[in-house]
């Protein structure tokens, strides 16, 4: 394409390419328009039935009733559409906010741009943990592996290369899964780094082709929507049964057939809360807005409700419970921990190539080691085996900053020791290695290649066969290894993180270009013109064997000041916290002890993750239910812990930041990714992204989830108990042989005044002072309680009583009193639902103007229907006298008082009336500490 790999496109070329190719971002599913959302409101069976009934009425000349039904359905549809549009705009803004930037080279400079600005010809920079934003041909690759499962279905990462043989391209027709010189949009970089030339963007990528093929696919329901759909079906069956009974009784009593048909259909609508989808959308979107203000970005709306049921939080340590600002506290040379023994000679053969150095002799030592003390050598290795400042990792940054504070010129060091190859850090390996080449001096005939390695102390010490005493390597015995690890444990027990640093001379590259170490990995043949990006199997282990240990670096990452209070808040509210970290056990326990991770200030119990490998699932689960810290954990351990704890019945939230954490994040009920330190892959796999990587933000999110679950349960309880009360009133009147207490348009009017505005206001309720305990049942698994049944019975009974008392005046007056009773009692009931579990009424009335406005709007609508002549004629009502209004008020107040006296258990599913969702998880086995999840 004529693009320089070093300079990339010029700014003018990039603008011209973008004008030609358009948006470079991956295509997304088209958002429904306002008209399509409005049309979707009329696809429900009950709404269609009412529209059909309105059509029948119009054909029979009853235009008033037909228009009334159409107008009420239109208002309900408009309210629901408005709320869905608001939620849609909110989610669009959140997606833009959390959209990761991509790194490119343009005009010779590294830049960060939005994926939509990518164009063919751009030079793309990739590293582990990022998602590939476009199809691109590899120009350079270092130990690169990508996850292409979204395109090929291949579950294992694919090794990629960019050698000279691949630059000319692969044969035509090569399957996508075998194109190892290409990376594709939508895949994830799980290891290594690369520089690539963008060849296709947006809809022109392979992922774009897949998107075009499935763009018309039917949208799937979320778990919450499926639960609510099941609840709606159960209520619909109940209402149709009652409607059928009313219809048959009316026909037997020679009531007008059309009237009984309309009454039966209206009863179906009265029992089913058709405004429920809008109410759920309002509750979730309001919670999402509050979470944004608390630095938490929700990527899946339904995840907010799941958070409300979480009772186990598996959290990382670094950056989540700690501030993630590392600082070097001490450099500990191995020679000072293990003084050299006079009776031991220097090490014989510290690596490949030693055999060629002459029998009985030492391998050629790199100049920087031969002339550098062990303390300074450890500092140099930590600074060179490092990708800072490009890598934002706080540990990497702290190591480079310490080297500068020690008077080292890091940039000059990196010039003197030029990097020739890299084995990136991997959580499974717990180490990082680089191969550097010492620039030759004028008098030298050879250049020196050195492997530098840093990582977890137990790993580096295990790979070391010698240690540096300041002048030469000395043999490292098993007893010395154990002594070193004991010393490291003592340091780590003080809350310090310890890294080990080692090195190994590899080869001398002579003028002839022949390597003096023929057994080296292909990754070291760069100087000889070979391909460094296709190492043989097992080459990493071969390269990193027989290290010479230089020393240790102790760093501190203090706990976040607010983390202890947040943990105590979790303990008080029934959320167990389990720290899962890749750090060393003593360091992790020290931080857990300082944070009081165990409830009641007890000493935290810890477990080494590798110990889980020797246990079967039942034994591992028993251990996990007792511990508070799991140390030295890899992503594989995380995934197993998630599966075991979910099997035990926990509703689990998990934090993660690495690319390899993605499977565990997806497996958790709620995956929580880090917004700063996290990778693109982990963010894409999560349901929630923390903008500040702060544990207290997770606790705020849990609180918000509880509030949303609480609010939705209030709204749902209010809706179902009210609608069942309407059903009881109409059914009771027919069973008693009375005329129907409400006309069909009256039932629809009641739903408008009571189901729409007050229920939406309940879903928007602001936070309470006291947090509700966790619940194992979801909103969609709502179950009626005795108190809710009492509310329904009181609503139906008082309506029937007022209707009977008004029959002495006139049928119109009786129906008007029944209408006023249903609406007035439910509005007062909404106040009860709003105040339940809250501070006294006077403390929140001034803070919740929206709720009062919704109640006032419904009350004003009722008054207008009863007292404004145009609406009186339209809805066939009559004005009520003062005494009649007094009767309505007394009935509503009495119902509210009796419901309050019945107790405050309406939010708890004490008794199952509607069949709960099948396939609920098994209850967790009991454990002593901390307490297992339990039904509230």
Tokens 């290795």 — which residue?
381
Percent of the chain with pLDDT over 70: 72
Separation CA 7–CA 576 (nearest Å): 52
pLDDT at 399 over 90: yes
List, for residues 133-185, the tens digit of each pLDDT value. Answer: 889 999 888 878 887 766 665 556 788 876 654 555 667 767 777 788 889 88
Least confident of 791-800, 869-878, 906-915: 906-915
Tokens coding 44: 């429900």
Backbone angles phi, psi at 830, to 5 degrees: -60, -35
pLDDT at 363 over 80: no
pLDDT bucket at 838, cuts 50 / 70 / 90:
low
- 701, 294 contact by CB (below 8 A): yes
- 550, 333 contact by CB (below 8 A): yes
pLDDT at 401 over 70: yes
Task: Assign 3-class secondary structure to 380-438.
Answer: HHHHHCCCCCCCCCHHHHHHHHHHHHCCCCHHHHHHHEEEEEEEEEECCCCEEEEEEEE
Percent of the chain with pLDDT over 90: 19
pLDDT at 421 over 80: yes
Stretch 47-63: mean pLDDT, rounded?
69
Backbone angles phi, psi at 618, to 5 degrees: -65, -45
pLDDT at 358 over 50: no
Which pLDDT belongs to residue 212?
59
- 550, 502 contact by CB (below 8 A): yes
Stretch 756-777: mean pLDDT, rounded?
64
Which pLDDT belongs to residue 679?
67
Strands 182-183 and 135-147, how do they pair?
antiparallel
Least confident of 151-160, 636-645, 884-893: 151-160
Least confident of 256-260, 699-703, 856-860: 256-260
Angle at 322 (CA atoms; ends 317, 326), nearest 5 degrees: 105
Neighbour order of strands in the sheet with 606-608: 296-298, 688-690, 670-674, 652-656, 312-315, 576-580, 629-631, 606-608
pLDDT bucket at 272, cuts 50 / 70 / 90:
low
pLDDT at 596 over 80: yes
List, for residues 275-300, the tens digit of each pLDDT value. Answer: 566 677 777 777 777 887 878 877 77
- Smallest CA-to-CA distance from 910 within 881, 880, 935 is with 935
pTM here is: 0.65
Task: From residue 66, give the alpha-carbon distance in Å to each of 39, 73, 750, 876.
Answer: 19, 11, 17, 13
- 110, 167 contact by CB (below 8 A): no
Q: What is the mean pLDDT of the chain?
A: 76
Tokens 């009692």 — which residue?
825
User: Is the model more confident about 931 or about 272?
Assistant: 272
Which pLDDT belongs to residue 486?
92
Stretch 382-408: mean pLDDT, rounded?
89
User: Is the model more confident about 445 or about 234?
Assistant: 234
Which pLDDT belongs to residue 525?
33
Stretch 454-466: mean pLDDT, rounded?
94
Which pLDDT belongs to residue 65?
64
pLDDT bucket at 469, cuts 50 / 70 / 90:
confident
User: Is the model more confident about 691 or about 371?
Assistant: 691
Which pLDDT belongs to residue 771?
45
- Smallest CA-to-CA distance from 506 within 353, 349, 346 is with 353
List, for residues 805-829, the tens digit of each pLDDT value. Answer: 888 888 889 999 999 999 999 988 8
Separation CA 305–CA 718 (nearest Å): 18
434-467: burial string, b at 16+ Cβ within 10 Å, e else: bbbbbeeeeeeeebbbbbbbbbbbbbbbebbbbb
User: Is the model more confident about 583 or about 371?
Assistant: 583
Which pLDDT belongs to residue 214?
46
pLDDT at 917 over 70: no
**According to the per-residue pLDDT averaged within each range, which of 164-173, 244-253, 324-333, 508-517 is highest?**
324-333
Which pLDDT belongs to residue 161?
77
Which pLDDT belongs to residue 51?
74
Tokens 């760069």 — which residue?
526
Which pLDDT belongs to residue 465?
93
The SS3 call for residue 666 is helix
Among residues 65, 122, 135, 316, the one annotated as catalytic is 316
- Smallest CA-to-CA distance from 713 within 228, 196, 120 is with 228
Beta bridge partners of 189: 146
Which pLDDT belongs to residue 367?
55
Separation CA 9–CA 236 (nearest Å): 62
Which pLDDT belongs to residue 643?
93
List, for residues 504-552, the tens digit of each pLDDT value. Answer: 988 644 333 333 333 333 333 333 333 332 333 345 677 888 999 999 9
Q: Is 44 a catalytic residue?
A: no
Task: From residue 802, give the alpha-carbon distance in Å to each of 22, 725, 821, 824, 890.
Answer: 67, 14, 7, 12, 11
Backbone angles phi, psi at 313, to 5 degrees: -120, 115
Which pLDDT belongs to residue 269?
58
If residue 41 lies in a helix (H) or strand (E), which one and from where to where?
Answer: none
Stretch 243-256: mean pLDDT, rounded?
79
**According to the per-residue pLDDT averaged within each range, which of 119-123, 719-723, 749-753 is highest?**
119-123
pLDDT bucket at 66, cuts 50 / 70 / 90:
confident
pLDDT at 213 over 70: no
pLDDT bucket at 715, cuts 50 / 70 / 90:
confident
End-to-end CA distance of the chain: 65
Stretch 481-490: mean pLDDT, rounded?
92
Which pLDDT belongs to residue 736?
84
Which pLDDT belongs to residue 488?
92
pLDDT at 115 over 60: yes
Stretch 12-18: mean pLDDT, rounded?
87
Separation CA 315–CA 580 (nearest Å): 6
Stretch 48-68: mean pLDDT, rounded?
69
Which pLDDT belongs to residue 935?
31
DSSP code for 792: H
Tokens 């009313």 — which residue?
246
Backbone angles phi, psi at 287, to 5 degrees: -65, -40
pLDDT at 88 over 50: yes
pLDDT bucket at 14, cuts 50 / 70 / 90:
confident
Which pLDDT belongs to residue 454?
96
pLDDT at 616 over 90: yes
């Amino acid at each position: 394409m004529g693009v320089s790999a070093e300079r990339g496109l010029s700014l003018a070329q990039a603008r011209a390419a973008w004008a030609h190719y358009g948006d470079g971002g991956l295509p997304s599913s088209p958002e429904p328009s306002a008209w399509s959302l409005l049309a979707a409101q009329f696809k429900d069976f009950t709404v269609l039935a009412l529209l059909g009934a309105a059509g029948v009425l119009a054909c029979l000349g009853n235009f008033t009733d037909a228009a009334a039904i159409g107008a009420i359905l239109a208002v309900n549809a408009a309210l629901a559409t408005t709320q869905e549009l608001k939620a849609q705009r909110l989610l669009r803004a959140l997606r833009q906010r959390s959209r990761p930037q991509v790194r490119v080279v343009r005009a010779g400079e590294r830049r960060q741009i939005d994926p939509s600005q990518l164009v063919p010809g751009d030079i793309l920079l990739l590293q582990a943990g990022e998602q590939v934003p476009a199809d691109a041909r590899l120009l350079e690759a270092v130990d690169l592996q990508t996850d292409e499962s979204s395109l090929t279905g291949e579950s294992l990462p694919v090794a990629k290369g960019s050698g000279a043989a691949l630059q000319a391209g692969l044969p035509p027709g090569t399957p996508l899964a075998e194109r190892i010189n290409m990376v594709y949009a939508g895949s994830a970089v799980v290891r290594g780094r690369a520089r690539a030339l963008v060849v296709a963007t947006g809809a022109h990528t392979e992922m774009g082709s897949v998107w075009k093929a499935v763009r018309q696919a039917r949208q799937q329901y979320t778990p919450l929507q499926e639960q609510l759909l099941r609840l709606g079906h159960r209520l619909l069956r109940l209402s149709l049964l009652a409607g059928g009974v009313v219809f048959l009784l009316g026909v037997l009593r020679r009531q007008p057939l059309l009237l009984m048909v309309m009454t039966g259909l209206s009863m179906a609508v009265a029992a089913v809360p058709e405004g429920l989808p809008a109410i759920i959308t309002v509750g979730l979107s309001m919670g999402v807005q509050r979470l944004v203000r608390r630095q938490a970005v929700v990527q899946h709306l339904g995840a907010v409700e799941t958070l409300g049921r979480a009772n186990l939080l598996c959290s990382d340590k670094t950056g989540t419970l700690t501030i993630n600002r590392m600082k070097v506290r001490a450099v500990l040379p191995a020679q000072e921990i293990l003084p050299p023994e006079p009776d031991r000679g220097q090490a014989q053969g510290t690596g490949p190539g030693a055999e060629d150095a002459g029998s009985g002799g030492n391998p050629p030592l790199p100049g920087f080691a031969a002339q550098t003390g062990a303390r300074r050598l450890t500092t140099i290795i930590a600074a060179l085996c490092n990708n800072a400042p490009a890598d934002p990792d706080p540990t990497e940054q702290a190591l480079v900053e310490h080297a500068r504070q020690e008077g080292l010129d890091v940039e000059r060091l990196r010039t003197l020791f030029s990097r020739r190859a890299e084995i990136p850090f991997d959580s499974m390996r717990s180490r990082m290695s680089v191969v550097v080449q010492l620039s030759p001096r004028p008098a030298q005939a050879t250049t020196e290649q050195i492997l530098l390695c840093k990582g977890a102390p137990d790993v580096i010490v295990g790979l070391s066969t010698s240690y540096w005493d300041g002048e030469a390597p000395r043999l490292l015995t098993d007893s010395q290894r154990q002594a070193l690890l004991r010393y490291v444990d003592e340091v780590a027990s003080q809350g310090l993180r310890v890294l080990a640093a080692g090195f190994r001379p590899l080869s001398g590259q002579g003028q002839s270009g022949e390597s003096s170490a023929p057994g080296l990995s292909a990754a070291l043949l760069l100087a000889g013109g070979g391909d460094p990006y296709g190492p043989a199997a097992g080459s990493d282990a071969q390269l990193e064997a027989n290290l010479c240990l230089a020393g240790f670096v102790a760093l501190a990452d203090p706990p976040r000041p607010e983390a202890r209070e947040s943990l105590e808040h979790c303990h008080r509210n029934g959320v167990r916290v389990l720290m899962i970290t890749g750090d060393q056990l003593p360091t992790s326990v020290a931080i857990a002890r300082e944070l009081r991770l165990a409830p009641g200030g007890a000493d935290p119990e810890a477990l080494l993750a590798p110990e889980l490998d020797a246990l079967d699932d039942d034994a591992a689960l028993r251990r996990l239910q007792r511990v508070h810290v799991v140390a030295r954990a890899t992503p594989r351990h995380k995934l197993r812990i998630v599966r075991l704890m979910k099997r035990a019945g926990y509703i689990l939230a998990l934090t993660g930041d690495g690319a390899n954490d993605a499977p565990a994040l997806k497996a958790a009920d709620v995956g929580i990714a880090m917004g700063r330190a996290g990778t693109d892959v982990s963010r894409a796999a999560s349901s929630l992204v923390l903008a500040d990587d702060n544990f207290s933000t997770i606790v705020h999110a849990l609180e918000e989830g509880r509030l949303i679950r609480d609010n939705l349960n209030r709204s749902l309880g209010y809706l179902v108990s009210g609608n069942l009360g309407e059903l009881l009133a109409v059914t009771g009147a027919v069973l008693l042989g009375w005329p129907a207490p409400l006309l069909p348009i009256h039932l629809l009017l009641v739903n408008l005044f009571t189901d729409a505005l007050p229920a939406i206001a309940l879903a928007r309720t602001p936070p309470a002072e006291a947090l509700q305990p966790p619940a194992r049942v979801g909103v969609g698994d709502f179950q009626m309680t005795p108190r809710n049944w009492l509310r329904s019975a009181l609503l139906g009974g008082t309506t029937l009583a007022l209707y009977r008392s008004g029959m002495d005046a006139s049928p119109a007056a009786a129906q008007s009193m029944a209408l006023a009773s249903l609406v007035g009692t439910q509005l007062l009931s909404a106040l009860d639902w709003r105040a339940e579990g809250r501070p006294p009424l006077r403390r929140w009335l001034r803070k919740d103007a929206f709720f009062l406005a919704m109640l006032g709007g419904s009350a004003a609508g009722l008054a207008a229907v009863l007292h404004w002549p145009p609406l009186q004629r339209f809805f066939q009502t009559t004005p009520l006298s003062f005494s009649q209004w007094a009767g309505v008020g007394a009935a509503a107040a009495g119902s509210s008082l009796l419901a309050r006296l019945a107790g405050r258990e309406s939010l708890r599913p004490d008794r199952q009336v509607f069949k709960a969702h099948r396939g609920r998880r098994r209850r967790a086995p009991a454990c002593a500490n901390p307490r297992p999840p339990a039904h509230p």
